[in-house]
Chains A and B, each alone.
Chain A
């Protein structure tokens, strides 16, 4: 247990020292503010609501489709292939720490950064709504928005599991990055050609949080989709671990 905590601390410190993590966090906070200001400035022309009460959810849509997956690819590239090509993984593995702890620490660090990104998004967008939105057009429904954000967290973590698994096949960060972006784009486009594909693809669950906003979706649907996301999370993390465990650094 102590091993795991030390490993997790190590991974989080590493992430913080990387400039791109900081850059992404600043970007994540800046995009909603910039968009809200743009809409606010364009309001006389477009008549849009600058930051309505649904602004946190509208932004979540943008984040779960583009920004968080992109961040995940970059971070996973740093966590796995980059460590192999820079030969730093060897150093970690030489420490008196079990490989399982090393792997789990990386996964947990991923989860924590996703949660942090979503938290920043939630705070910034509700602040935008408070300052730029008009309160008379409805208020934020904290409970269902909270549920949606938690659901978004799990779908993003499950998506990251798929790419952690994919990363085990790569020894260079750039190769993994290009391949994962293409794979993700393909997974997003395939439902337009292939009926039924989306039922089996975790990439189609990026807007899964929508179900948690609704009052009409049946409990059975919520349970089966939750089971799908959780089992996908476990399956791909375990598959990734099997490969990671056999890897020679």
Chain B
């Protein structure tokens, strides 16, 4: 009798302690996911920053579209200035843009006209932005963590001797949640439908040009067997816990209507610098050719 109690008691005791200990390790252990989240939050709290953004879209290794931008942003008063250069299968487009107190200003490098957008939605945006300032509040964070679930453990973090960290996440098609995988073909369908609608009404203002040269979705309307092949995220966090660079690569495979297999690779690269030391340029519109930009373009995104 005594022996039996010793056996069961021992088994309960030992396994209970191990379970508690390993549970605590999982609870207390900071994964790369936590490091990345902390850096994201910290970077969001910055006052001003300079961003170099580059996006490349390739189809079977051929360049489809490329965008390069350089932006200076003050996150406190939301002043932004910068240039964006987009080249695609339909040519190249360069834009300068400014967001200042009297509205957003867009200018194509091809013309001398300054397009001004003074929409009321600006006010709305400001309100929602200030809510966004507390971006991930605690409850939302818990929900996101629960949704991410065990994928959290896939994010690896390596810390260098100077305190900077390298974060990396590599996912293959089997590891991507089924729901996300199922949404991709639907997104493709939607994107090509929007594109068809846009090409119908030809407009010459910069926003339209922007859209047209950015994408020619008909070239890559995948209709069959669309799936995410891999997702990879690499990020560098400096010793002050600010995100210095992020690189996101997504590869999608699928077949088009004629049965040809396409491998689409999109590569997004964001480099941040000038933390809290950036002053956005402003532009003085007096004496320049100014045209107001119709409002409905801003609304299109709310459709």
Contacts and interface: CB of A to CB of B under 8 A. Distances in A.
A232 to B, nearest CB: 5
Given A213-B172, A235-B19, 16 more contacts: A47-B189, A61-B178, A138-B229, A145-B174, A194-B142, A199-B26, A204-B149, A208-B150, A210-B154, A211-B153, A213-B175, A227-B22, A232-B19, A234-B14, A234-B15, A242-B8
Contact of A192 (B142, B156, B169, B171): B142
A58 B225 contact: no
B68 to A, nearest CB: 30
Interface of A: 43-44, 46-49, 52-54, 57-58, 61-62, 134, 136-138, 141, 145, 191-196, 198-200, 204-205, 207-208, 210-211, 213-218, 221, 224-225, 227-228, 230-232, 234-235, 238-239, 241-242, 245
B142 to A, nearest CB: 5
Contacts of A232: 15, 19
Nearest to B189: A47
Nearest to A215: B170
A43 B11 CA distance: 53
Interface string B15-27: 1101110111111
A138 B173 contact: yes
Contacts of A141: 174
Main SS class of interface, A: helix
Interface stretch (B117-125, B179-187, B195-203, B271-279): B179-187
Nearest to B155: A216
Interface string B127-157: 0000000000011011101100111011010
Contacts of B11: 234-235, 238
B227 A52 contact: yes
Nearest to B172: A213
